[in-house]
Amino acid sequence: MLESLTKFLIVPTNAPQPGAWEPEWVAEHWKPQAIKIFKSADVLEQELRCQILLVGVSNKIDPEVAANPRAVLMPHACIVRFSSPNFDPIIKNKRLSVDHIGSGGGVEHYTNMMQRHFELSSGILKAEMGALGMWPKILGHNVARVLAEQPIEGISPHVHILVCRNGEIFTMTNDETRFPASGGEPIEFKMPDVARNYQQFILKCHSSGIAAEGALA
pLDDT tens digits, one per residue of 157-182: 898 888 877 777 888 898 989 888 88
Residue 212 CB burial class (10 angstroms; 0-12, 13-18, ≥19): middle
CB of 174 closer than 8 Å to CB of 138: no
- What is residue 8's predicted lDDT score, i.e. its pLDDT? 87
Domain ranges of the chain: 1-97, 98-158, 175-217
Strand partners of residue 168: 165
Strand partners of residue 160: 173
pLDDT band at residue 93 using 50, 70 and 90 as cut-offs: confident
CA nearest neighbour of 1 among 64, 83, 80, 74: 83
Global confidence as pTM: 0.67
pLDDT averaged over every residue in the chain: 82
Beta strand spans in 127-167 (E) = 160-165
Tens-digit pLDDT profile for residues 9-43 = 887 676 655 555 788 888 889 999 999 999 999 99
Distances 53 to 19, 42, 83, 92, 109 between C-alpha atoms, Å: 19, 22, 9, 11, 25
CA nearest neighbour of 22 among 57, 72, 69: 57
Mean pLDDT of 75-84: 86
DSSP letter at 151 equals -
Give residues with Cβ within 8 angstroms of 198, minimum separation 6.
2
